[in-house]
Structure 1
Amino acid sequence: MTDLTEFKPLSWGLLIATNKRPDILRTCIELALAQTRAPCEIIVIDTSPDWETHASAIKALIEPDSGIRMVYRTCDIGSTAVQRNTAVSEARADIVFLIDDDSLMYPTCASEIMKIYEADTKEQIGGVQAALSDAPPHLMESRGPQKQDNRQEAIKSRWFWVGRIKYFIWRKVFLMHQEEVFIPYEGKFPDLPIPVEVQGMSVWPERLFHGCRMTFRRESILREPFENLLRSYSPGEDLDASYRISRTQSLVTAEKALLNHYNIATGRIDRYKTTVLSNMNQALLVTKHGNALAKRRFRPLLRRKLLAEFLKDILQKRLTLPQARGILSAIRQSRQIPNMPPGELEAWYPVCQQRILET
């Protein structure tokens, strides 16, 4: 007689880091509450000056008898990475959805993701990423389901020689692929297999996650948290954390779990500052976590980025060259990072970021 282990469904929670964007936050949470599989908790870490006013409005969305645990609080540091770590520390759910406040889930997004985690009974998968749709959920009834995934479109185009050339330029010259701009800390990307239990579930393997649509096992992200030294919206925090998890557990995208990244610009910083911070953050992370090979690859990568960002600025008619100038600034300012003792670096880097943000 076969000994069957009793199935225990996993719980999921929505964890949101936000700042001064109450309208899109409300939409994000309304769509989470409308999921075919409800969350057990919603945790919002809001660094807006009037966060308490926002809290009252969001808490009113939760029905008293829903059984959904609601936590809405602030934290002292304006940092998406710190806010997300704070939310994870507050969470009780088995699976944490760490999507952006302008990420809009389709009704079955959560259920499709949870099916994958539950099928992976040996917990070989550390994270499941939603698939991107090119329109918000409420617009899709008239348009029909259309997914936007640059990698998949590129793969399709490779059947044609023109497509192959375009893909090479897009990826290798313009560096428009996250694996081209991220330096693996151990010299190469790990390639862990997709567990047999989920291979027929419309998933494909990933090496890095896109922050607007990532979910993790709570224990995995507790073990490999976001980098607390990063400030503002912490560009690169998603690649860093997902890479560190990928060294011991697989990462996958769930093709049927659709989400639209609405890309609200309010509260974001300009192109120049974003470029400087992105590359300074990478210098910090490679210094903290990278081996000798990874560290040697950083300066040549910056030179490749300088050409790529210059070309993108010109093609987009950005005559002040904000992204190219951002790379030049990062080249200059990051030189001292590899030589700083850890304690000194941890004290200096938040101050450095604040100076960049205030320029």
Structure 2
Amino acid sequence: MSLVTNTLSWALVIPTYQRQTILLRCLSCAAQQTLPPQEIIVIDASPDWEATYHQVMQTLANQHSSIDWKYLPANRLSSAAQRNQGINLATADIVFLIDDDSLMYPECAQEVIRLYAQDTQHQVAGIMPKLEALPPDSQEQSGAVNNNPISFRSKLANGIKIFQAKLRYFAKQLIKDDDIFIPYDFAFPKYTLPETLKDMDTHPVPMIHGARMSYRREILTQVRFEETLECYAVNEDNDVCYRASRLGMLLHALQARICHLQTPEGRLTRFTTTALWGLNQAVLHRFHSADLQRFNQRFRQLLWQRLWTQALKDILDRRWTLPSARGIGFVLRHYQAILAMTPAALRTEYPAFQQQLISRDPQNRRDKQPK
């Protein structure tokens, strides 16, 4: 380990909701980092959060006692509010904000912290690890052990799963999901990499992915997540990312690796998440846009482009009811009313509108049924 990383500490903040199994796997990967975290903070909005709390504290916390574990119930069901709640508890220099189904490779944190440590002038606001298609333990799961050989059928099944994961990852690169946020100033800040980082495996990026974020804690004291957004707060990450980029550059750490599994359990349906993606962006621009009329024109164009790409993705994934495309249609019918409201009215009325939309979501109704 480079000695320079010892000067910086890091914390992990994770909001979660009814995803116990994958959360435990995520926390295990984080606890086993070659550069361990100073603290791990979980904010759980699940009704049965105490069961997971006891499991984490009795297993992972005991096995990794040098880490300061904080596992608390959420003040409210909103990933944005949950992240703010966790950030308020963090004391480390760097705060990692990843999803509960993001799995860190063993040296992920060390490589990210190494970059922050070399940025002696604090020109870097945030750093994103490199996305991997397969989880850290995929080779262990698919490889044969001499003393316990895996059957040909098992090898074939594992090979097919790995091929499918790579194919889906390639398809996601063809239809970009990350380049869909219209900047409040209609342009992304541009930075030059500091001299201390020019020989390192990294480069500036305009945005960083919400499932694999990290920021200096000093940045997060100035830029907080928007708590008007309810539940699975789509676009909360783009909002914070863009406002943070005004304060410093964002980097892609190519030697730091992480896998985002995108586990479906506990999520809302694609129709609802797609609708919230568009509606939330309209709300955020109503709060922060430099020119609402210009945003309106660009957003309508983006929605029509997105309508066709989402329909294509629905078909490729054999979602014959076209839920994502229908979600875009819902946004086209409602976003103008959002732009016509005052920010004060939106902060009062939009949470109720989101709750009404979420309450009709079939996945939400299933989650609330007795187990």
The aligned residue for residue 272 of structure 1 is 271
Query: 1:342, CA displacement in angstroms?
Result: 1.7
The aligned residue for residue 352 of structure 1 is 353
Structure 2 residue identity aligned to 1:85: N
Over residues 88-144 of structure 1, what are the superposed CA-to-partner deviations in whole Å (9 max), with x where a residue is unaligned?
011101101101111111111111111001110111001111111121111235889
Structure 2 residue identity aligned to 1:196: E
Contact 2:124–2:250 (CA under 8 A) maintained in structure 1: yes
Structure 1 residue identity aligned to 2:14: I
The aligned residue for residue 74 of structure 1 is 73
Structure 2 residue runs without a partner (length 5+): 144-161, 361-371
Q: Do the aligned partners of residues 177 and 309 (structure 1) sit closer, same or farther apart at CA in structure 2, a change above 3 Å counting? A: closer
Structure 2 residue identity aligned to 1:126: A
Query: 1:8, CA displacement in angstroms?
Result: 6.6
The aligned residue for residue 252 of structure 1 is 251
Structure 2 Cα separation of the partners of residues 275 and 65 of structure 1:
38
The structure 1 residue matched to 2:45, chosen from 44, 47, 71, is 47
The structure 2 residue matched to 1:59, chosen from 47, 54, 57, is 57
Contact 1:13–1:93 (CA under 8 A) maintained in structure 2: yes
SS of structure 2 residue aligned to 1:223: coil
Q: 1:114-263 maps to which residues of 2 (within 5 A)?
A: 114-140=113-139, 170=174, 176-179=176-179, 181-263=180-262
The aligned residue for residue 333 of structure 1 is 334
Structure 2 Cα separation of the partners of residues 348 and 31 of structure 1:
40
Query: 1:330, CA displacement in angstroms?
Result: 0.9
Structure 1 Cα separation of the partners of residues 38 and 302 of structure 2:
43
Contact 1:131–1:149 (CA under 8 A) maintained in structure 2: no
Structure 1 residue identity aligned to 2:299: F
Structure 1 residue runs without a partner (length 5+): 1-5, 155-166
Structure 2 Cα separation of the partners of residues 149 and 95 of structure 1:
31
For normalisation by structure 2, the TM-score amounts to 0.84
SS of structure 1 residue aligned to 2:255: strand
Structure 2 Cα separation of the partners of residues 108 and 324 of structure 1:
39
Query: 1:346, CA displacement in angstroms?
Result: 0.4
The aligned residue for residue 164 of structure 1 is none
Q: Do the aligned partners of residues 47 and 119 (structure 1) sit closer, same or farther apart at CA in structure 2, a change above 3 Å counting? A: same
Query: 1:296, CA displacement in angstroms?
Result: 3.5
Structure 2 residue identity aligned to 1:15: V
Question: Could you tell me the percent identity over the aligned residues?
Answer: 40
Q: 1:15-30 maps to which residues of 2 (within 5 A)?
A: 15-30=13-28
Structure 2 Cα separation of the partners of residues 41 and 7 of structure 1:
16
The aligned residue for residue 324 of structure 2 is 323
Query: 1:55, CA displacement in angstroms?
Result: 0.9
Over residues 147-204 of structure 1, what are the superposed CA-to-partner deviations in whole Å (9 max), with x where a residue is unaligned?
x999x989xxxxxxxxxxxx9xx4xxx5x2422x210110111111222211211012
Query: Root-mean-square deviation (CA), in Å?
Result: 2.6
Structure 1 Cα separation of the partners of residues 123 and 13 of structure 2:
23
SS of structure 2 residue aligned to 1:15: strand
Structure 2 Cα separation of the partners of residues 189 and 149 of structure 1:
30
Q: Do the aligned partners of residues 348 and 57 (structure 1) sit closer, same or farther apart at CA in structure 2, a change above 3 Å counting? A: same
Q: Do the aligned partners of residues 191 and 234 (structure 1) sit closer, same or farther apart at CA in structure 2, a change above 3 Å counting? A: same
Give the length in aligned residue pairs. Answer: 333
Over residues 41-95 of structure 1, what are the superposed CA-to-partner deviations in whole Å (9 max), with x where a residue is unaligned?
1100000111112111112222388332111111232111111111001110110
Q: 1:86-105 maps to which residues of 2 (within 5 A)?
A: 86-105=85-104
SS of structure 1 residue aligned to 2:211: helix
More moved, 47-56 vs 316-325: 316-325
Structure 2 residue identity aligned to 1:89: N
Structure 1 Cα separation of the partners of residues 114 and 121 of structure 2:
14
Structure 2 residue identity aligned to 1:39: P
Contact 1:132–1:149 (CA under 8 A) maintained in structure 2: no
Structure 2 Cα separation of the partners of residues 95 and 237 of structure 1:
19
